[in-house]
A and B are shown apart, each in its own frame.
Chain A
Amino acid sequence: MSLLFILFFPLVIGAILLVAKPKQAFAISLIASIIELVATAFVLKDAAAAENGLVFTKPWIEEAGISFSLWVDGVNGILIGLCALMVPFIVATTANSDKANNAQYQGLMLAMQTALMGAFLAKDAFLFYFFFEASLLPIYFLAAIYGGENKNAITFKFFVYTLFGSLFLLIGLIYVYLVTPGSHSSDIETLYQTAIMLPERIQGNLFLAFFIAFAIKMPIFPFHTWQPDTYTVAPTQATMLLSGIMLKMGTYGLIRLVLPMFPLGMITWGNTAIILSVIGIIYGSIIAIQQKDAKRLLAYSSFAHVGLMSAGILSQSTEGIQGALYQMLSHGINIVGLFFIIEIIERRTKSREIAQLGGITQYSYVLTVAFVILSLGSVALPLTNGFIGEFLLLKSVFDHDMILGIVAGITIILGAVYTLRLIQKTMFGNFSRITKDFEDVSSAEKWVLIPLCVLVIVGGVYPTWILNFTEPGVQALVSLLK
């Protein structure tokens, strides 16, 4: 039942917000998201204590063997945690802005949380798919209604492109589902057992279908062209949801569905997939170096990061998967923080043009410190959360293939190049026409920035807790691969 609660609670509140349109939308949605966080914490505590995680099953479409089943184990627990953790922050970032008491905006965000939670919680493949696609709706409306310049075309492209990708997933899932014995079942664990028996050629095709869907979602080179535009045009909270949580659906899908189901498919296509991921890392990083728009720069950096996650996952090692899970968490925290900082700057200066900014540190010490700390997390400095994930990921890719590992490792150089450039051009140097009289961060903004910075450090110093949490789930998964 607790699983049901954490799944539907945000939706219920979100629906109330959407329908009733109360004046205090911000307070309601913030409190709701905090309640959700607390409830999720309890669920995760139970899950860590339970032998095989938590499972909740109710028949859904009984005739077709599709059930409404949810579970929490080490693999998805971390993503559920991420989702529950980040949404309060994302809600809090609207404080004092024109969106704070916009009930529709808050409602859509909460609805989005349910969709994300659902995708991570689902134990049934079609339930996963259901939420995987359903999550597009709230985020589409968030981005399309509140987006910036040229939003219609861009968000529309995003929607059609990603949906197009997920249709491949649908074909693949249906195929695997139909292979299951009896009157069919779409339980993920059942699918593991049946898919693994398929001949190599078919597994290869299915791998492709699944991979394309997830590759578009994440995105992986060369399926990424929707991403920078969408990240740039969407309102910041939507971008945070997209990059902080939603793209993890893709990586999660790789871990949860692709790896254990198509080991033979991996043989045929795995290398191609890893190479594409690694190309994405370098490609994204290089493009980020010359970006003029801060948000766009972060978009490409996110693209590069996710490439590394994908490559690590596809290396099929425990380190890779654990590292990817850890990196998903870290990346979520860091990118939300970084996007928020850009939003803070934009609110005050009405600009994201890197060239027009500068010298902000003279007006806001806290903002600079937060920016530096979050950026360090993003460039994976040791003792920040980014390092743990990146270390494990790079190691797994390196173990998989030495050359690819080194090429992927170039990200730590290029990452520093674009991140430091961003810091320098915005925070340091002389103030410009628009950063003159930059207003220091408000307390509401500090309430978001400081905890995030603390998380960056804590995550880098004490990762054991989370790594131990994911260990059993990942071990179980990896044992399936052998």
Chain B
Amino acid sequence: MTAIIALSLFGISNLFLGFWFPRKTIQMVTLLFLVVSMALTVSDWNHELLWFGNMFRTTNTSINFSLIIQLAAFFVVAFSKAFGQDDEHTHPAEYYAIMLFSVVGAILMVSFDHMIVLFVGLEILSVAMYVLTGSDKRNLRSNEAAIKYFLMGSFTTGILLFGITLVYGATHSFYISNIGTILTNTAPESMPSFLFIGVLLIIVGLLFKVSAAPFHFWTPDVYEGAPTIFTMFMSTIVKTASFAALFHLVSGIFGSLYTVWVLPVYFISMLTLVVGNISAVYQQSVKRMLAFSSISHAGYLLLTVSSKQISTTSSILYYSLSYTLATVVAFAVLILVSEYQSARVEKPENFSSFEGLAKNNPGLALCFTISMLSLAGIPLTAGFWGKFFIFSDTFSRNIIYPVILAILMSAVGIYYYFKGIIAVYLKAGEIEKIEVPVLFKMALWACTLGTIILGVYPSLVKSVF
């Protein structure tokens, strides 16, 4: 809990530091702040406590989610090189501050015990993301992404709020625990029907955030338009936080109402798998491919909530972690390559600009390959166990067909992830040695190694989750 206070303060102080210090220093300071906040987060381990008028609850699960989020933020900061097109007119301190604030929002989303906290957390995160998405002010693509994200995001906020209101109307409470007890103790017949509408609307609101089909339309466009570093931020932190919130709600309060939401979620998860994976196949742009891939991963995660028995959090946590590690690496390499190619080719983010990367940049190529393998769920990488745990978990709850579909779709997944690997290793291309800053390189290898270590010895973190 202290972490969110600290992070807020850090964010504010960051704004001031921007007056005096150069970008490098601020980056280091921000990293330090994140390390401190992670330490603070860990200090709550095994203390299940309620804060802020019982609106905020720290449990080990929420701490784990917060840690994954902060870790992701840490890497995003480490991978940040420049914001926007010209470095001079941007103010890195502000971006770092916004990132820190949005991490606060994300942590609120994973630890809420009251609807207001959920809403506020979501909005802190979203509003920050609208800003970051549009931060490349002169780039029309960035503008378009921002307005799309903003309009659809606020629209969904309206939906979510309407849902929350209806649930409040039926249960007279915003407290998760209260709502849970009330819903459990009331016979379904005596519940007002608008309650069900409310429940569905809340779920829809969160499904939008995790970009489940058919609420995924914004994802590819926004991911593509936003500056890559913020795409990285969105695809890891926003996704993890939103899914944690969804999982918390579904398992916590709506568990007794599963008849209402389970079928829609069941079908939505399958639809998401199909749409995400199939659409990714044809993409020429790595960034857009990763966007669809993130949709498909939402599909896998949704498998865990598509049954009346709720999955254990550990497989979700493991999946989120492995997904986060692999995704940040993929985007990081994309940043480097597209930056290098931006002056040389028309579409620097396409697969074609990766061609021949391995020749002069074996390290980058390896990192990228491992991240692709992890996303594809090939053994030796964390992604394999992530999928494995999800599948076995889902299977154990007797969800058969979606798992079979998911497995078929992961075969499709191999197809598009391998397009990246093929481009890197097997196609001829001219890419000179790309200069990589030390910090960047360290972060890259840290994530890659993490992916492999988790792939070989998953118990390392699985036992904690």
Contact = CB atoms under 8 A, between A and B. Distances in A.
A159 interface: yes
Interface in A450-472: none
Contact of B411 (A60, A62, A151, A167): A167
Contacts of B404: 171
Contact of A156 (B314, B395, B396, B422): B422
A175 B396 CA distance: 8
Contacts of A136: 378
Interface string B424-446: 01110000000000000000000
A59 B459 contact: yes
A160 B418 contact: yes
Contacts of A64: 389, 392, 462
Contacts of A62: 459, 463
Interface in A64-106: 64
B373 interface: yes
A156 B459 contact: no
Interface in A159-188: 159-160, 163-164, 167-168, 170-171, 174-175, 177-178
Interface stretch (A137-145, A250-258, A286-294, A473-481): A137-145
A174 B395 contact: yes
A144 B422 contact: yes
A61 B458 contact: yes
Interface residues of A, number: 32
A156 B418 contact: yes
A272 interface: no
B256 to A, nearest CB: 26
A130 B384 CA distance: 9
A139 B386 CA distance: 24
A170 B407 contact: yes
B373 A61 contact: no
B258 interface: no
B452 to A, nearest CB: 11
Contact of B422 (A152, A171, A178): A152
Interface string B84-127: 00000000000000000000000000000000000000000000
Contact of A171 (B403, B459, B463): B403
A134 interface: yes
Contact of B425 (A145, A163, A170, A171): A145
A151 B463 contact: no
A59 B404 CA distance: 29
B197 interface: no
A178 B418 contact: no
Given A170-B391, A171-B391, A137 B422 contact: no
B378 A177 contact: no
B369 to A, nearest CB: 9
B426 A151 contact: yes
Contacts of B395: 171, 174-175, 178
Contacts of B214: none
A63 B391 contact: no
Given A130-B379, A144-B426, A171-B391, A137 B411 contact: no
A133 interface: yes
Nearest to A131: B379
Contacts of B391: 170-171, 174
A60 B459 contact: yes
B403 A164 contact: no
Query: B interface, how many residues as a size bin?
Result: 20 to 34
Given A59-B459, A137-B378, A167-B407, A160 B388 contact: no
A163 B411 contact: yes
B415 interface: yes
A384 B148 CA distance: 73
B41 interface: no
Contacts of A160: 411, 414-415, 418
B216 to A, nearest CB: 24
Contact of B378 (A131, A133, A145, A152): A133
B411 A164 contact: yes
Contacts of A152: 422, 426-427
A129 B415 CA distance: 20
B457 interface: yes
A112 B396 CA distance: 33
A144 B425 contact: yes
B353 interface: no
Given A60-B457, A152-B426, A174 B392 contact: yes
A64 B463 CA distance: 10
Nearest to B314: A63
A429 to B, nearest CB: 39
B410 interface: yes
A137 B380 contact: yes
Contacts of B459: 59-63
Contacts of A164: 408, 411, 414
A177 B392 contact: yes
A151 B422 CA distance: 11
A346 B349 CA distance: 41
A450 to B, nearest CB: 36
Contacts of B458: 61
A238 to B, nearest CB: 14
A167 B392 CA distance: 13
A106 to B, nearest CB: 16
Nearest to B373: A137
A169 to B, nearest CB: 10
B379 to A, nearest CB: 4
A141 B358 CA distance: 13
Contact of A159 (B384, B385, B392, B414): B414
A6 to B, nearest CB: 18
A125 B396 CA distance: 17
A141 B463 CA distance: 33
Nearest to A163: B414
A64 B379 CA distance: 17
Interface string A117-131: 000000000100111
A355 to B, nearest CB: 31
Nearest to B395: A174
A126 B385 CA distance: 11
A89 B379 CA distance: 28
B377 to A, nearest CB: 9
A134 B425 contact: no
Given A130-B384, A174-B388, 17 more contacts: A61-B462, A63-B314, A63-B462, A64-B389, A126-B388, A133-B384, A137-B378, A144-B422, A151-B426, A156-B418, A160-B415, A163-B411, A164-B414, A168-B407, A170-B391, A174-B391, A174-B392
12 contacts: A60-B459, A64-B462, A133-B378, A137-B378, A141-B425, A144-B426, A145-B426, A156-B418, A163-B414, A167-B407, A167-B410, A174-B392
Interface of A: 59-64, 126, 129-131, 133-134, 136-137, 141, 144-145, 151-152, 156, 159-160, 163-164, 167-168, 170-171, 174-175, 177-178
For the complex of A and B, the 5 pairs showing the least CB-CB separation, nearest first, are A164-B411, A134-B379, A167-B407, A133-B379, A174-B392
